[in-house]
Amino acid sequence: MILAIDTATRWLGLALHDGTAVLAEVGWHCKNNHTVELTPTIRELMTRMGATMADLSGIAIAVGPGSYTGLRVGMAVAKGLALAHQTPMVGVPTLDIVAAAHPSQPGDLVVVAEAGRTRVLTAVYQWHGGDGWQTNQTPEIDTWDELLTRLEGPLTFAGEISPEAAQKIRTSGKLFQLARAAASVRRAGFLAELGWQSLRRGDVDDVATLAPIYLRDPAGA
């Protein structure tokens, strides 16, 4: 069984996966209450499933890019659990979790995460058959106006997209479309699946050196 923890933004997600199916999953807007809400919810989820840390064969953690506070809290909790129980850890990029929820479709997929009041973090993904959506691009930070000016369609946008940004996409005059809102939610169940795949390959991270990817240097935030 694998425990998935996603605290990369104000959306907080947890899931348990047994290698075949998602056994339990929760996700909610925690605002910036990661510190208060994360550990009690992990405990509640495990208790509800009758599981203990001894049942876990791995912990999957969203490593970012994302907010400093959220990532720091999630990484600290995940590392504490992994070190205390000698459980392997797998880090998964934030945008990969959103991309994993989407089936093949014409054109590329633009995955979006919030990066402050006026900026967004994005990466463009291409479909690679059995490997799903993949990107070799380093995520970039833009305003919506900058992003929509430099991109050309056909493209589908998915992820954290405000109503105002959705309107900009619809009226851009380009071959852009929006993914369904429910499919754009960053689900911890997909984080768990990606983590399980890495565990099966033996592709695990060093708990001591695994580090979050922040949107910017916290010292300059």
45 contacts 14 by C-beta, under 8 angstroms: yes
Shared domain for 52 and 153, answered yes or no, is no
Shared domain for 8 and 41, answered yes or no, is yes
CATH number at residue 138: 3.30.420
Shared domain for 132 and 64, answered yes or no, is no
**Residue 74 lies in domain:** 2-94+186-220
Shared domain for 118 and 165, answered yes or no, is yes
What is the number of domains present in the chain? Answer: 2
Q: How confident is the prediction along the chain (221 residues), in pLDDT tens digits per residue?
A: 999 999 998 899 999 999 999 999 999 999 889 999 999 999 999 999 999 999 999 999 999 998 899 999 999 999 999 999 999 999 999 999 999 999 998 899 999 988 877 889 999 999 999 889 999 988 999 999 999 999 999 999 999 999 999 999 999 999 999 999 888 889 999 999 999 999 999 999 999 999 999 876 333 33
Shared domain for 52 and 124, answered yes or no, is no
Task: Spell out the residues 6+ positions from residue 196 whose beta carbon is closer than 8 angstroms to its own.
Answer: 2, 17, 19, 58, 60
Pairing of strands 58-64, 2-6: parallel
CA distance 104 to 52: 37
CA distance 34 to 129: 36
C-beta atoms surrounding 1 within 10 Å: 18
Shared domain for 83 and 6, answered yes or no, is yes
Shared domain for 8 and 89, answered yes or no, is yes
- Annotate the chain with three-state secondary structure: CEEEEECCCCEEEEEEECCCCEEEEEEEECCCCHHHHHHHHHHHHHHHCCCCHHHCCEEEEEEECECHHHHHHHHHHHHHHHHHHCCCEEEEEHHHHHHCCCCCCCCEEEEEEECCCCEEEEEEEEECHHHCEECCCCCEEEEHHHHHHHCCCCEEEEECCCHHHHHHHHCCCCCEEECCCHHHCCCHHHHHHHHHHHHHHCCCECCCCCCCCECCCHHHC
pTM summary value: 0.91
CATH number at residue 35: 3.30.420.40
